[in-house]
Structure 1
Amino acid sequence: MKSLLKFTAGVFLAFLLLTNANATPTQFVSGTGNWYEVILTTVNWDSANILAESSSYNGLDGHLVTVTSDSEWTFIKSLTDYRDNLWLGGTDSVTEGTWTWVTGEAFSFTAWASGEPNDLRNEDYLETWQSGNTWNDIAGTSTNYGYIIEYEETSAVPEPATMILFGVGILGLAGVSRKKIIQFYNSNR
């Protein structure tokens, strides 16, 4: 029984280590407390947005990065090694000239390059530009070199149903009979 438990714990630990092997988000501790990840791949804005929204890190949901302060922008620039052509989570595709973040946060901080946004050729999406120091509006169909994901920090308190499901799974792995698991579940409802 103990060897089965040790084996199961080893498999579980290996699974955790392997599933996070490709993700290396960095936390912006002095600011938002959120986590950020730079993904380098050729992609248009819609695909980057879908990929970012389908990403998670340590149980936190991802989205294209939103920049709400100068200190956050300074952090992101250093994180990206000042790269051009990385998608950010800003758009004015709903109403031309009214920029919004994908999260609905206020679009109050900006780092536009001189003369931007200019809507040249119907440019409705936000990217890093000029050695990653400023922002540019660009068409969403353009293929950029990557995108930046922001993972929102949320409450670390798990919901009760998750804990019950986790407990039942552990009991099952430990070899507890189905009858005892059902009794345990019913007594904790």
Structure 2
Amino acid sequence: MTSRVTLISPATSRSLREARFDDGSPLDTRGAALAKAAAGTLPAADRVVASPTVRCRETASALGLAALDQTELGALDMGRWRGRTLEEVSTWEPEAVSRWLSAPAIAPPGGESVLALCERVAIWLDAASGVTGRTLAVVEPEIVRAVVVTVLRAPSAAFWRLDVPPLTAAHISGRSGRWNLRLGEALGTRRADTED
């Protein structure tokens, strides 16, 4: 039994453009338009899920997808840093930021660590490997990073070395917990010869 998961990163929002830890802002006009233009270009799916954030739900809607919120795919909990930029929290709490960026087991004050996020995503991936068919998941960039780290069995510190552009797809396929990975497809560029 082969499972296929296509992870779609959200369109741009004000917080994404400003490199701000998610503050619940909606998609910006350009991001919504680009997502709408990509509607209909995604592969058919047996299941459609989304991170329960505003920008992921709005991206799914703009793509014409009726996605169910998947709490296990929720954004990294940034605690009291939510809504702030990295520059702001680096000014206010430089030692805490330094510890957070250098040790994946360290969480932002009141938040969740990268290690905990990767563990949460690994549990979701394990369940997904037992489901036949394709799942489309509109998820926050940090979820895509955690999936890549988990699938490649990379050290959790590799999380910080992965860039996930808006409205791109990462595809994983496999069975029994063994996944193959294809990254970086811009939505709307899918060709017939790349169908899996």
Normalised by the shorter chain, which TM-score bucket? under 0.3
TM-score (norm 1): 0.27
Bigger proportion of residues as helix: 2
Select the structure with the greater relative contact order (CA < 8 A; seq sep ≥ 6). 2
TM-score (norm 2): 0.26
Is the radius of gyration larger for structure 1 or structure 2? Answer: 1
Bigger proportion of residues as strand: 1
